[in-house]
Each structure stands twice: as C-alpha cells, then as structure tokens.
Chain A
C-alpha cells in the first residue's frame, strides 16, 4: 500500500456482484465495503476476508451480544442504576470488525464508547460499568487484557497509543497497537501530534477513527473540510475509509493495517464511516440537532441486520442458532443487570488509595484525619 494510493483508490467493479442493490454502495470509490446494506457480499480489489460459517456466526454473535449489553446499560441508566451511559448503538460492526482483527498481544487504547472492542478483548462487560455507576474511574487492570482504561479527555489516548507503539518497536516485538477515537476528537491537537509522532518514528499503531457523524451536536463538517481518512496523507501514511457498518470490511481493513504495522511499515489511519444511532450519551437530546430521517436512513444500513441477511441467504445459520443466541442475549442482560445492582459502593478510604505508587506524606496525613473524623461519628453513636 503506498501513500499515494490513499486518496484515490478506486475499486474495480465486482464480478461477483449480481443484485442491483449492491451497485449504489460499491459506486462510492472512497468506501471499502465487502457486505452491502442488503446483505450482499461484494468484492474489493485491495481487501478481502475468507471466513468459515462458524467465524461469520461468531462475528454476528459478538455484535448481537454487544448490542444487548449496550441496551441493558442504557436501561440501567434510565432506572437510575448508572449515572451516565455512552451507547455504541450502530457502531457494532466498526468495533467488532476491528476488535476481532486484533491479536492477543496487540494493545488497545479506547475512548469511552468501545464496549464492543472491550468484548473482543475478553474484558468482562460488567467491568465497564463501574465508572458509569460512579464506583471507580476505570477499575480494570489494563495489562490483563491489553485493553487500556477508557479515556474521557478526547484524543489523549492516541498519544499514549503512539508512545506504547514506539516502545513495542524498541522492544523488537511484532505486535501492534490500536487507538480508537471519534470524528470530533480528530480536531484535537493530541490527535494531530500523535499522527506526527507515529509517522516520524514509524510506530506500529493503527488509528481507528469511528466517524459516527456527530460529536455531541456538532456534525463532522464542523471538524473538517476534507474526508477524515485523507488527513493521513499529509502526515505521510495511508488512510482508508471503510464502511463502518460492514463488519467484514472493518475486519479486513483493520487486519491489513495491523499487518502493515507489524511489518514495520508504520501507522495507518482507518476511518470507519458509521453512525451513532442513539444519543451521544444518556444526557444528550439528539432531537434538538438532527432529523429523524437521518437516523432512519442509517437504520437501513444496520450492521447487524445485513450480516443476518447474509447468513440466512447463504444458509450459514439456522433458526436454532438465532434462537439460542436470543437466549444467550437475555442471559447476558440478566447477568449485567444483577451485577450492576450488586456492585457495592467503594470503601470510603478508597479516596486515598493508589494516588501514589510510593506514598505521599500529605496523603498519609489526610487519610489519618479522615479516618479519625469518621471514627468520631462511631464514638458518638456508641455513647
């Protein structure tokens, strides 16, 4: 893949393509697509995946369960169990496709919405809820699944990913690093700086931008005058726009970018062109800034439906599969619900824990004062 190829890659017309419905999607030369919104498999000159029916069912299962988890979390927020939730509804293909392209020894730097990627990394979904419930600010060990903590300050993690990737290269390892961020984050200086650093040090990092069209109420046009993937060119590495609602294309494109990183050829920017079907977070009111028709248009491109259609048409999945998945979804929902309700408030003394690795005199002093103050109530009760 050359740098020059980033802007003007034109896929040749697919020979396999039969249905007229596929034509519209493939006609967009900027978008890598392997599965049309109608569930039609199409070819792309640069990217392909060859999956067994079982693997295809696996991707479908990942997306369905992630959506189910997400819906449960949204419901839990409505029921007052979570303070906030950032839904990934509509972005399942982008996350599962890219997440399933990763190797165990790769390292992930997410934002706050990468529930599907976390799922792929084997992070227990209930672990993701602690910060939204307000019992911690992250709460999992990033090194146990090579999945860093969620990052709220938008764009910051792209630099951590780049530094980590520089370290990977120094170690002579052939693993890769992936940084997730949004179209809004692409305006942040840190993202630009991470492009610069990764390019000049040839760091093995993949920048995976989920362009879900909105940054709270601001559309992508408020962030950029050129398609986001084209930015990579100015930094000297390839950029690719992939249909973010097409799990196969996301898998293929991310895998290719990761392989490129492993070969020592440096960073790639992947722009997954997708859509946030829900609100930005449960605090948001999208009716104030976007039209219902827009969402409806994107619903027709639903990432899960199209894979379902494909599985059915090809005879890769039967009724029993869908039924058992439905059951599994409900079990997951129930497990998440129960886990959240059972999540204890942190111990009071947690305020003073882990602020410093080597301790700090002021923290010790204030911890002791706090403990004495708390104890004074206990004394009062006793009298």
Chain B
C-alpha cells in the first residue's frame, strides 16, 4: 500500500502523470499547461518529463482546444483538456454539446470519444468575474456527457484515472478552492465505481447531499449539528451525470429528510433534479419537503460579496433547522 498525504491539485497531477506513463496515447492540452504547469500548477512538471508533443500548450481558443481534441480522439488519442477557468468554457460549449456529446451516437457507436475536459470551478478564492462559476448543470443536462467532481485528494486521483480510461467524454470539475486541501491518497487502492456516491458522515435525522467544494461545508455542518444532538448524514455525490439516486434514496429512506447543497444557482440546478427524483421515489418516506441551498439567480457577485452568495455553514444549518421543523 502506498499512501501519501496530498493536496487535491497534486493528486490530480500525480494521476495525470500515471496515466501518461501507462498509456502513450494520453495527451494534455490547454492554455499554459506546459512550462507554467497551468495557472493552478495542476500540470506542473509534466511537459518537462513528457515533452511538448504530449503536454501541449495551445493557442488561446477554447473551441479550438476542444475541437482539435475531438479530432485527436478520432485518431486514437485520449486528450485531457484543461479549460483555464469555469467562465471560459463557453467558447467551447458548442463543440462540447453539439459535437463531443453526440458523435458516438451519430456514428451508431462505431467511434468513441475518450476526451476528458478539466474545469477548475466554483468560488471562494476572491477572484474577478468569470473565475468563480459553477456551470455543472449546463453539462449534466446534455445527453452524451458524463460530469463528475471530486471533493478530496483520493477521489481527485482515482476519478481522474477512471475519467481518462472511460470511452465517454467526461467533464471533470475541479473544486478550485479545495486545490490545496490535503488528504490521504492510496495509489494502490482499488477504487469504487466512478459514478457511485459516498457516505462521508453517517447519520439518522437528515441527509445532506453535496459534491465538490460543498462537501467540506456539509461535513462541518454535520459536526456543528451533532453538538446540538442532531444526527446528520452527509453524502458526497461525486458524479452529477449520472447521479447515484439509489444512494440518495437509501439515505433519505433512512433519515426522512433531505437538503441538497451546491454553489451553483438553485434555479434549474442539480438540487432541483435531485428533489424531483427523490420526491418521486421516496414520497412516503419524506417527513419534509426536499430543501435546496445554493447560489442565487444572479451573476456571481464581486469577490467582496461572495461570502453572502456562497452557501456557508450558517445557511446549511438554517436549512437543516427548517427541514427538522416540519
């Protein structure tokens, strides 16, 4: 067993390194991914070791990055593309949605598109506009794409391995404000399935569902609630497409209450989907309506206001209280 304590960014770096060593068809592409190692240094040192032919600094053209990655995948490569920040994926959105997501089906399954698109996402780092958004629902809504987000270093490592090995396009959302959070990574472990949710904290009074950056907040909320004698279960969804509804359902049928937490705007978000499905699946088990905590239907605010916008401990606990009050 090889266990290392790694920050998330480094775990992804190690994972990319391993993938490149194992499979010569794995390529890394993006803006500044070479010498600089990416603006978050996630690809640090890879170009030095694998060369410019495999860690490719691209022109500043997101549609071009994804569009050429599609062509490379058609030629048998497995490109891992870095989009520098969440708000800059939109020039590539057309290629992702109209081409990447659909080509396998259009070819009646004859071709595969093993492309991973890495997107550092979410707020909490005091950035300027377009550097703090959570557009995951826009991708999860699209048939043909898979969407995942790790919340800790071990998942960051293993989910990247699995995303690269997947023959489907995977949008891999990296919780940028957690990049420096450390946890144990066992690089010899046998990972669970990529799209399986994980129980982070077991509890019996209420279920908190989160993914990516919000898992930590929910774990803190569960701890705070425990001090008041409330037993909160925290589920890390890990995958937004597909969603492991069986795990959510099992938890809700145990606790009777569900609060979904994410940074993205609540309106039309992952929480809406989960609330709808769970009220269908577990109507008679619910003691309270499914509540959602998330961003407002407003542009991501300037940094001085992001603490108001982002769901924090208090907003999560408030929702917990409201649910328990039914």
A interface residue numbers (CB < 8 A to B): 136-144, 148-149, 151, 153, 156, 158-168, 170-171, 189-190, 193-194, 196-197, 200, 353-358, 360-363
Bound together, the chains give a CA A212 to CA B162 distance in angstroms of: 46
If A149-B106, A159-B95, A360-B146 touch, whether A194 touches B74 (CB-CB below 8 Å) is: no
Closest 6 CB pairs of A and B: A163-B71, A159-B67, A167-B75, A163-B68, A193-B64, A357-B167
Bound together, the chains give a CA A354 to CA B68 distance in angstroms of: 22
* Cβ–Cβ contact A361 & B106, under 8 A: no
If A163-B75, A355-B144, A358-B168 touch, whether A142 touches B110 (CB-CB below 8 Å) is: yes
* Cβ–Cβ contact A168 & B75, under 8 A: yes
Could you say which residues of chain B place their CB within 8 Å of the CB of A163?
Answer: 67-75
**What are 12 A-B interface contacts by the 8 Å CB criterion?**
A136-B106, A137-B106, A141-B107, A151-B99, A158-B67, A159-B70, A194-B68, A200-B59, A357-B167, A357-B168, A358-B166, A360-B241
Could you say which residues of chain B place their CB within 8 Å of the CB of A189?
Answer: 61, 63, 91
Bound together, the chains give a CA A190 to CA B66 distance in angstroms of: 10
* Cβ–Cβ contact B108 & A358, under 8 A: no
Specify the chain A residue showing the minimal Cβ separation from B113.
A357
Bound together, the chains give a CA A144 to CA B107 distance in angstroms of: 11
Specify the chain A residue showing the minimal Cβ separation from B99.
A156
Bound together, the chains give a CA A151 to CA B242 distance in angstroms of: 27
* Cβ–Cβ contact B168 & A138, under 8 A: no
Could you say which residues of chain A place their CB within 8 Å of the CB of B167?
Answer: 357-358
Bound together, the chains give a CA A164 to CA B71 distance in angstroms of: 4
* Cβ–Cβ contact B71 & A165, under 8 A: yes
Could you say which residues of chain B place their CB within 8 Å of the CB of A360?
Answer: 146, 168, 241-242
* Cβ–Cβ contact A361 & B242, under 8 A: yes
Give a binary string over B143-154; 1 marks a CB under 8 Å from any A CB, 0 the rest: 110100000000
B103 interfacial contact with A, CB 8 Å:
yes
Rounded to whole Å, the gap between the CB of B70 and the closest CB of chain A is 5
Rounded to whole Å, the gap between the CB of B82 and the closest CB of chain A is 16
Give a binary string over B42-84; 1 marks a CB under 8 Å from any A CB, 0 the rest: 0000000000010000110101101111111111110000000
* Cβ–Cβ contact A354 & B91, under 8 A: no
Could you say which residues of chain A place their CB within 8 Å of the CB of B70?
Answer: 159-160, 163
Rounded to whole Å, the gap between the CB of A76 and the closest CB of chain B is 22
* Cβ–Cβ contact A353 & B68, under 8 A: no
B102 interfacial contact with A, CB 8 Å:
yes
Interface majority SS on A: helix, strand, loop or mixed?
helix
Could you say which residues of chain A place their CB within 8 Å of the CB of B91?
Answer: 189
Bound together, the chains give a CA A379 to CA B184 distance in angstroms of: 55
B94 interfacial contact with A, CB 8 Å:
yes
Could you say which residues of chain B place their CB within 8 Å of the CB of A166?
Answer: 68, 71-72, 75
Could you say which residues of chain B place their CB within 8 Å of the CB of A165?
Answer: 71
Could you say which residues of chain B place their CB within 8 Å of the CB of A361?
Answer: 195, 242-245
B98 interfacial contact with A, CB 8 Å:
yes
* Cβ–Cβ contact B146 & A193, under 8 A: no
If A148-B74, A200-B59, A357-B167 touch, whether A194 touches B103 (CB-CB below 8 Å) is: no
Could you say which residues of chain A place their CB within 8 Å of the CB of B68?
Answer: 159-160, 162-163, 166, 194, 197
Bound together, the chains give a CA A189 to CA B167 distance in angstroms of: 28
Bound together, the chains give a CA A137 to CA B143 distance in angstroms of: 15
Determine which of A136, A143, A167 lies in contact with B108 in the assembled complex, contact meaning CB atoms within 8 Å: A136
* Cβ–Cβ contact B74 & A142, under 8 A: yes
* Cβ–Cβ contact B74 & A160, under 8 A: yes
* Cβ–Cβ contact B99 & A160, under 8 A: yes
Could you say which residues of chain B place their CB within 8 Å of the CB of A156?
Answer: 67, 94-95, 98-99
B200 interfacial contact with A, CB 8 Å:
no
